[in-house]
Amino acid sequence: MNQILRGYISKSLAINGRQRATVSMLLGVVILVTIFVTGFFLDEKTITTDLTVRNAPPSFDHLFGTDWLGRDMFARTLKGLFISIGVGVIGAAGSTAIATLLGVCAAMLGKWVDRLISWLIDVFLSVPHLVTLILIAFTIGGGFHGIAIGIAVTHWPSLARVIRAEAMQIRSSDYVHISKQMGKKKAWIILHHVLPNIAPQILIGFILLFPHAILHEAAVTFLGFGISPHEPAIGIILSESMKYLSSGAWWLAFFPGLCLLFIVRIFDRIGAKLRSFIEPNGSLD
């Protein structure tokens, strides 16, 4: 009787944990979509110059205060988050695509291909992401496209290694051997056996790549190698605010930086909850 009661309680806790995880993920997605859509439809007039209210502290009229040109920092922060999310999504998607292609090829196309791709992964992992990202973005010319391409080219190695290991496990499974004996080609096996089984890892990898992508975009933009200074990106806002912190205008860096960390934390939380759903022994707390 006690064992039945314990089993019922543990099952109820697991269901409640999954419900909480689902609500947490949905809430995070709603917040991200709201910020993205608001930034997309934000009127440019809301971030125009108004010298009559420059360097105003946070108030009901200007929630995040205004900068040295009287521009509303709340509107600029929303627009900056829209740009950062766009760069992060494109960069993470491109990096995930590269990781998937190389990881599957390394596992399925023979030893020589595996050695070449493994060597390439080690080379990219031996160089700091930020240094390679700056070089690529500077070579391309910076801007939105330059930083997005730089993120896509530099953030794939760790995920490619995970996908390679997963694909190798699938390659040694019985149903893959049966498909080979039936005369199925490698391309068919990859499309019908490998990719469907590694799809959860690909999705989790994409979500967990986004925080790195958006933080590196902000860092490179802060250093002057990323988004154009004419765009209200978070990195630009933080870089410009450094000149005015000593005069007491703390809100110029505090609110944009806090919002950036909030967005990164939401994506990291969504990735962790999604992983807990996919992994049988994953914690849902």
The per-residue pLDDT for 220 is: 84
Residue 51 forms part of a structural domain:
no
In a domain, 44, yes or no: no
Q: Is 253 domain-assigned?
A: yes
Is residue 65, in this structure, part of any structural domain at all?
no
Token reading at 29? 């997605």
User: Cα separations (Å) of 197 from 103, 176, 180?
Assistant: 14, 12, 17
Are 216 and 129 in contact by the 8 Å Cβ rule? The answer is yes
Range of the domain at 279: 83-285
CA distance 10 to 132: 48
pLDDT of residue 11: 46
At residue 18, the pLDDT reads 67
Residue 4 lies in a domain: no
Task: Say if 111 falls within a structural domain.
Answer: yes
278 has pLDDT over 70: no
Q: What is the pLDDT of residues 199-239, one digit of tens each?
A: 888 888 888 888 888 888 888 888 877 787 777 788 888 88
Q: What is the CATH number of the domain that holds 230?
A: 1.10.3720.10
* Total number of domains constituting the chain: 1
Q: Is residue 27 part of a domain?
A: no
Selected residue with higher pLDDT from 8 and 50: 50
Whether the Cβ atoms of residue 125 and residue 157 lie closer than 8 Å to each other? yes
Intra-chain end-to-end CA distance of the chain, in Å = 28
Distance of CA 279 to the CA centre of its chain: 20
195-223 and 157-171 are packed helices; what angle lies between their axes, rounded to 10 degrees?
170
Gap between the Cα atoms of 13 and 283, Å rounded: 12
Q: Cα–Cα distance between 249 and 206 in angstroms, integer?
A: 37
Tokens at 25, concatenated: 């993920």
Rounded mean pLDDT, 62-68: 84
Report pLDDT for 14.
46
Confidence of residue 98 (pLDDT cuts 50, 70, 90): very high
